[in-house]
């Protein structure tokens, strides 16, 4: 395939020829979505072969893991699976650049001033939120970011035209760049928080950004003044914003992009009816941020199968056919050669579509994603209520080395008990954990509203009814006197949480 070119590597930007080269490369990324799937598969397999050869030379971990296989010919299906705990236990052996170490990355992300700084001058680092257990450190090369942005501009851009017209479009946006407003709920080394700020220099010719906090009192005015083409945030935030639709004036808005949580069917309907544009629901993992682009025709997302492989499998890693719910996913990221993820196990449960999609994208489509409930508490603020999501807790505790797991229980409306379970042999530092949580709650304007008690427990237990571990448990539920629109949102999300 012609788009089998390496992404442009320079970040200096500047001259018009380089802009044309990049707009051509970016525009060309659209083509694979309309290509014969056999061609996409061939490109995928070629890249897989290259990656396997790279890791067999440069990654001690994978060299050992694949030692009994011939990486020039072995099928993906015979390669052993890698788990999160293996990845973290052998981090220094996994990475292909000897200058990278787990200790080095941990030290780097300890300091929040490093968020916009490239690690070792060239890499992006982040950690997963740990919403499905142990957080993972992730080091990404520039290629991953180049693909993420190029896919968002083309495959994830509603109304993008392919072929020559797509190239014309790409040229036109040099004159009038796309305008993306991102409503952020979190800060720090979380992929969705920093990634847009790490836009490759040359992409500034294509995109203008507004970053605004979900708790900014002037949020609506700031978005109106910016006049975005694309509005992007989590489903919860967009759903709540759609209740204020009367205050928005967005004549140039062409699409809404959601990420990070489950977008329920009712929430999709409300958001699309309010903003009157298609809703593109991206599904990704921190380990492969460009994994999919949302489908403009409805729920689901198309896998960018030329650069990533998604295997839906059962508990024994056997393939699960399209149309059936898998137990987990094995993910292979073909672009990240610095920290390779090959048949890497993630806990999400997916159903792949059985039919071709009406939107015209011929890439494999994830029809349904189960396993990302939007957990939150409704807390009283003044005379009304506000949702408190899991984020402040996640951000305060997920990356504490001594904490294996946490759980928050809302025992009264504004009274929450937090339990921390230390890793074996460690002691949970409750005082410091409390300080971090207070900082996080202050960011969302709730520190002074809540009565919080933190305790250390030897073991957190699963729910006696469902036998599943729950991080957010409410004993008080949805307030009776929540007003109409908010109540609907709350009930739909509660429903989504029950389905998981
Ligand atoms: Zn589609």
Residue 457 host element (H or E): none
Q: Which of 185-189, 366-370, 456-460 has the lowest mean pLDDT?
A: 185-189
Split into its structural domains, the chain has a count of 2
| Residues of the chain above pLDDT 70, percent | 81
Question: Does some domain include residue 261?
Answer: yes
Same-domain pairing of 363 and 398: no
Q: Which is more confidently placed, 460 or 75?
A: 75
In a domain, 215, yes or no: yes
Range of the domain at 380: 376-499
Residue 499's pLDDT band (cuts 50, 70, 90): very low
Same domain for 128 and 26: yes
- 303 part of a folded domain: yes
**pLDDT greater than 60 at residue 466:** no
Instruction: Identify the helix (H) or strand (E) that includes residue 381.
Output: strand 376-381
Alpha carbon of 357 to ligand 1 centroid (Å): 5
Shared-domain flag, residues 90 and 226: yes
On the 0-12 / 13-18 / 19+ scale of CB atoms within 10 A, 450 is buried
Q: Which of 369, 402, 420 is the last residue of a domain?
A: 369
In terms of pLDDT, which residue wins out, 148 or 15? Answer: 148
Statement to judge: residues 209 and 327 lie in one domain: yes
Looking at the domain assignment, is residue 11 inside a domain?
no
Q: Ligand 1 centroid vs 365 CA: distance in angstroms?
A: 7
Q: Which pLDDT band holds residue 373 (cuts at 50, 70, 90)?
A: very low
Same domain flag for 186 and 264? yes
Q: Is residue 155 located within the same domain as residue 243?
A: yes
pLDDT for 178 equals 80
Q: Are residues 234 and 382 in the same domain?
A: no
409 part of a folded domain: yes
CA of 435 to the centre of ligand 1 (A): 45
374-391 confidence digits (pLDDT tens): 467 889 988 888 888 887
Nearest to 238 by CA among 221, 251, 255, 225: 255
Domain limit, last residue, from 337, 369, 401: 369
Residues near ion ligand 1 (Cβ under 5 Å): 295, 297, 357, 359, 361
Output the CA–CA distances (angstroms, integers) from residue 419 to 129, 434, 436, 471, in the order listed: 18, 11, 14, 10
Same domain, 315 and 407: no
> Is 8 within the bounds of a domain?
no
Same domain, 392 and 277: no
**pLDDT band of 200, cuts 50, 70, 90:** low
Q: How far is the CA of 33 from the centre of ligand 1 (A)?
A: 10
Instruction: State residue 1's pLDDT score.
Output: 43
| pLDDT confidence tier of residue 411, bands split at 50, 70 and 90 | very high
**Residue where a domain terminates, one of 319, 349, 369:** 369
**pLDDT at site 488:** 63
Q: Where are the beta strands (DSSP E) in 132-186?
A: 137-140, 178-184
The answer to which of 81-90, 212-221, 314-323, 474-483 has the lowest mean pLDDT is: 474-483
Supply the CATH number for residue 451's domain. 3.30.300
The pLDDT value given to residue 165: 62
- 412: nearest Cα among 451, 374, 357: 451
CB distance 235 to 208 below 8 Å? no
Average pLDDT for 439-447: 87
Please tell me which residue, 31 or 330, carries the higher pLDDT value.
330
**Same domain for 210 and 284?**
yes
383/417 same-domain check: yes
Whether residues 322 and 400 share a domain: the answer is no
Q: What is the mean pLDDT of the chain?
A: 83
Token pair belonging to 332 = 């292979």
Report the CATH number that the domain containing residue 311 is assigned in CATH: 3.40.50.12780
**Cα Rg of the chain (Å, integer):** 22
* pLDDT at site 11: 44
Give φ, ψ of 269 to 5 degrees. -65, -45
Instruction: Examine residue 3 and state whether it is found in any structural domain, yes or no.
Output: no
């Amino acid at each position: 395939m012609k788009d089998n070119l390496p992404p442009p590597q320079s970040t200096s930007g500047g001259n018009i020829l380089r802009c044309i080269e990049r707009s051509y490369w970016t525009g060309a990324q659209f083509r694979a979505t309309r290509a014969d799937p056999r061609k996409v598969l061939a490109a995928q397999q070629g890249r897989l072969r290259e990656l396997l050869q790279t890791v067999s030379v440069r990654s001690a971990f994978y060299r050992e893991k694949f030692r009994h296989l011939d990486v020039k010919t072995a099928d993906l299906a015979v390669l052993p699976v890698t788990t999160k705990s293996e990845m973290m236990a052998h981090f220094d052996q996994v990475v292909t650049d000897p200058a990278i170490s787990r200790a080095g990355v941990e030290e780097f992300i300890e300091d929040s001033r490093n968020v916009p700084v490239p690690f070792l001058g060239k890499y992006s680092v982040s950690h997963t939120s740990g919403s499905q257990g142990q957080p993972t450190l992730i080091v990404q090369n520039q290629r991953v970011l180049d693909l993420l942005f190029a896919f968002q501009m083309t495959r994830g851009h509603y109304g993008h035209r392919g072929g020559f017209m797509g190239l014309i479009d790409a040229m036109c946006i040099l004159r009038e760049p796309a305008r993306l407003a991102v409503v952020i709920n979190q800060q720090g080394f979380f992929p969705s928080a920093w990634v847009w700020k790490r836009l490759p220099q040359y992409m500034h010719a294509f995109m203008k950004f507004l970053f605004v906090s979900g708790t900014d009192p002037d949020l609506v005015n700031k978005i109106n003044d910016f006049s975005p083409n694309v509005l992007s945030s989590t489903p919860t935030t967009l759903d709540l914003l759609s209740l204020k639709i009367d205050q928005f004036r967005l004549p140039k808005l062409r699409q809404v992009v959601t990420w990070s949580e489950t977008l329920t069917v009712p929430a999709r309907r409300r958001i699309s009816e309010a903003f009157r544009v298609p809703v593109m629901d991206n599904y990704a993992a921190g380990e492969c941020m460009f994994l999919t682009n949302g489908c403009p025709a409805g729920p689901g997302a198309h896998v960018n199968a030329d650069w990533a492989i998604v295997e839906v499998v059962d508990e024994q890693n056997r393939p699960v056919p399209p149309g059936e719910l898998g137990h987990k996913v094995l993910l292979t990221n073909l672009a990240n050669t610095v920290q390779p993820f090959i048949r890497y196990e993630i806990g999400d449960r997916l159903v792949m579509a059985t039919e071709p999609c009406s939107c015209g994208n011929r890439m494999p489509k994830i029809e349904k994603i189960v396993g990302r409930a939007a957990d939150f508490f409704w807390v009283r603020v003044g005379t009304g209520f506000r949702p408190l999501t899991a984020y402040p807790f996640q951000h305060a505790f997920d990356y504490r080395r001594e904490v294996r797991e946490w759980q928050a229980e809302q025992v009264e409306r504004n009274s929450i008990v937090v339990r921390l379970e230390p890793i074996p042999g460690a002691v949970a530092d409750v005082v410091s954990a409390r300080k971090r949580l207070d900082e996080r709650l202050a960011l969302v304007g709730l520190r002074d509203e809540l009565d919080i008690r933190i305790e250390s427990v030897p073991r957190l237990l699963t729910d006696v009814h469902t036998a599943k571990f729950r991080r957010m448990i409410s004993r008080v539920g949805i307030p009776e006197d929540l007003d109409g629109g908010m109540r609907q949102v709350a009930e739909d999300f509660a429903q989504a949480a029950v389905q998981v």
